[in-house]
Structure 1
Amino acid sequence: MATLFYGLIDQTREFLHAAETPVPSVGEYLKKEIGQHVAGWTEDEETRKLKLAVLNSFFNLECCVSGTHSMDLVALAPFGEYTVLPGLDCTFSKGYQGLTNCMMAALPEDTVVFEKPVKTIHWNGSFQEAAFPGETFPVSVECEDGDRFPAHHVIVTVPLGFLKEHLDTFFDPPLPAEKAEAIRKIGFGTNNKIFLEFEEPFWEPDCQLIQLVWEDTSPLEDAAPELQDAWFRKLIGFVVLPAFASVHVLCGFIAGLESEFMETLSVEEVLLCLTQVLRRVTGNPRLPAPKSVLRSRWHSAPYTRGSYSYVAVGSTGGDLDLLAQPLPADGTGAQLQILFAGEATHRTFYSTTHGALLSGWREADRLLSLWAPQVQQPRPRL
């Protein structure tokens, strides 16, 4: 079933430059092709159901990869534009804080201000600041506490989910209609992790992944049970993290509306539910409960409102490029005022950390070329 599913995923990427697609979404294409395969299956009914259940688990996994509730929401035509960066994933020993700490170490002290949420970016203006007599600034950044920072340029790197929620108030004057429409059209979903810590491992020493398959599910059936009754069925399973000293941890992944519902539950409710799930899948009703639970809550976080972007049905890679374009965009040579970076502004590496990093370099280079066009900044280009 994995060979079938990922073979079909490879096929979806062939529509990138096609004049038209047979269906709008990746999910619809996968289901149409699977339906044709099912018609040729000759096994008994129980085996056929199990194969469909396994395929359904791969759909759930792909939802986590794309950060979407359903693959039916992911556009088919541009799906092949996403590029997988070669090489292994990198895990920072101190988490992402280790990466930002390294960056901060290269900056002069007191150049970064924390705990200053921005309320509105005022642009295309003529703002003055007492500390800079006689100088005017086109941009003024208004914080939620009332403080203002004048600026020649602002690079906006907030997550797309935040932009979607605050689009009407975050920019003054409002963004041009086509850029605002791109923000509305690009997809942005939720993918969360749930870490379970155990006193002792119940899995085999060489086990790396515990994948969950619910035998009564099928990607060809649009079953939509109540979230409170079945949210955990969207869980793809658990990755076994490398043991550290006497710490034994499983990391579960869950995407979509079920993931967002999980965020509303208490830690105790999540622990109880997943203990029952693990007891069921292991067949051991006395399996010890995890000693602790830690989960991400990306949708609840006010400055993210989700995890990362995808190219939704109705949008294209051009919308990501449009989001990345700086303002003003009238082509009159007006000084660049608002620049945009972040994973949702990278056409081929969206949803990734390296996409976010490269987009930041892109905008830094844009400003460098504006202020010091004679200085060439060598950077790796991907």
Structure 2
Amino acid sequence: SQEASGQGKAASGPAPRRSSPGSGDLQMAFPLPPGGVVEVGAHWIHGPSQGNPVFQLAAEYGLLGEKELSKENQLVETGGHVGLPSVCCTSSGARVSLELVAEMASLFYGLIDQTREFLHATETPVPSVGEYLKKEISQQVTGWTENEETRKLKLAILNTFFHVECCLSGTHSMDLVALAPFGEYTVLPGLDCTFSGGYQELTNCIMASLPKDVMIFNMPVKTIHWNGSFREGTFPGEAFPVLVECEDGSRLPAHHVIVTVPLGFLKEQQNTFFDPPLPAEKAEAIRKIGFGTNNKIFLEFEEPFWEPDCQLIQVVWEDTSPLQDTAPSMQDAWFKKLIGFLVLPPFGSVHVLCGFIAGLESEFMETLSDEEVLLSLTQVLRRVTGNPQLPAPKSVLRSCWHSAPFTRGSYSYVAVGSTGDDIDQLAQPLPVDDSSTQLQILFAGEATHRTFYSTTHGALLSGWREADRLIGLWDLQSQQPRPRL
């Protein structure tokens, strides 16, 4: 089933705004002693308030604490922006004034808010969010009166915020994100929160309500045959319009199939996954909508080197600027796309930092060994702390959402050349415009929700949408109410 990040996306406090990379709504949590978990997939409830069905379910199942459930928490307006770091370090080990970071954050997120105002504009000054931000920043720079060193530092801080926004949008570059539809993404109020036992607590509760033996796992689907008349021996005398063919040779006849695979999988496999092929309009929508990678890298330490109240360590790479297009070799510079490290709550004697990295650098990181990643990030931390003797992490764990064959990335964004109409096109059931034919293939998942794409709540709502579509069809056919699960 499908999700969202961050995206991976980041919003209040140190929490990335939209769900962190996930294979759809697949949640992966790795146990840490004693009983803690780290989320390799979706991490936060983004916008935990009454309009968020994930929050509502979590509250109903008793999975949240008093603070998360408080009215105060639900009313916080984050605007979808990341909170300020506890500590900001440069790549040469200097501490950056948090006042300067706050000044650049105010500038950057003020411009991000401006980009949302082009939603209903007849035309935009530039095609992408990135180009708009850079154009506006270039104008701002001309008015800066500080010395050259401070001006360069301010640009380096802004460059980090560009990388943060790439993590939020699940993209390699904000130049790939379309400006006109950017404001259609809806940020819900509420201070982002987590599940103490991982997102898996929620999926376990949902699954507990299902009848036993209705879920089949570890059975990859090879092809969905549709618009046919398929007969199987287990259902003599009945013809089905859909047949799901699995890689192990199993054949599952069906009246309806709801497809929730990640968009990255559809981009790679749509030509062989559907028989007959998808209509040209839907295939084109799949091609046009953006889908990127946002990964997490967890580092476990024997002892914390950070202060007890530290929540987020931001890293600023000196001599970088969003106004300069540099392309150093991936091998030497992939880690410069890291936005910093989130400090996870300690699990007894276990201390963990979580780094976020998006884009092609994130995909390159997946090709490296654990040892290479550990070595590179040990060197990074020694540089930014100014402590060449800093003990290396004792272990590393990372997500690899791009190389995972059933995800091929993390979550969707509206790319240059696409609009929200493409999202609606992807969500359109098949066959199209044929009232005499029952709904055969329906589409759900984060990439099919026009205003909540990239989030777990968008994925959940899309699943409910398609369930309601089928319930409505069968209610109409039977002319009597049917029980709703």
Q: TM-score range by the shorter chain?
A: over 0.9
Structure 1 CA distance for aligned equivalents of residues 216 and 105 of structure 2: 48
Could you say what secondary structure the match of 2:291 adopts? strand
The answer to whether 1:33 aligns with 2:136 is yes
Could you say what secondary structure the match of 1:290 adopts? coil
2:286 to 158, 173, 183: 183
1:240 to 343, 347, 370: 343
Tell me the number of residue pairs that the alignment of Structure 1 and Structure 2 aligns: 379
1:251-330 aligned within 5 A:
251-330=354-433
- How big is each residue's C-alpha offset from its partner over 1:26-82, in whole Å with a ceiling of 9 and x where there is no partner? 000000000000111111111110000000000000000000000000000000000
- How big is each residue's C-alpha offset from its partner over 1:225-274, in whole Å with a ceiling of 9 and x where there is no partner? 11111000000000111122111111100000000000111111111100
Change (3 A) 1:377 1:239: farther
Segment drifting more, 237-246 vs 30-39: 237-246
Q: Taking structure 1 as the reference length, what is the TM-score of the superposition? A: 0.97
**Aligned twin of 1:14:** 117
Structure 2 CA distance for aligned equivalents of residues 77 and 376 of structure 1: 42
Q: Deviation at 1:224?
A: 0.7
Which structure 1 residue ranges, 4+ long, deviate > 4 Å from structure 2?
Answer: 376-379
Give the partner amino acid of 2:407.
T
Could you say what secondary structure the match of 2:188 adopts? coil
1:111 to 211, 214, 232: 214
Q: Deviation at 1:93?
A: 3.4
Change (3 A) 1:273 1:112: same
**Aligned twin of 1:158:** 261
CA contact (8 A) 1:365 1:377 kept: no
**Aligned twin of 1:87:** 190
1:326-345 aligned within 5 A:
326-345=429-448
The answer to whether 1:375 aligns with 2:478 is no
Higher relative contact order (CA 8 A, sep 6+): 2
Give the partner amino acid of 1:11.
Q
Q: Deviation at 1:92?
A: 2.7
Segment drifting more, 328-337 vs 363-372: 328-337
- How big is each residue's C-alpha offset from its partner over 1:260-308, in whole Å with a ceiling of 9 and x where there is no partner? 0001111111111000000000000000011111100000100000000
Give the partner amino acid of 2:445.
G
CA contact (8 A) 1:13 1:80 kept: yes
Structure 1 CA distance for aligned equivalents of residues 481 and 300 of structure 2: 52
Change (3 A) 1:243 1:226: same
Structure 1 CA distance for aligned equivalents of residues 277 and 310 of structure 2: 53
Give the superposed CA RMSD: 1.3
Percent identity of equivalent pairs:
84
Q: Which runs of 5+ in 2 are unaligned?
A: 1-103
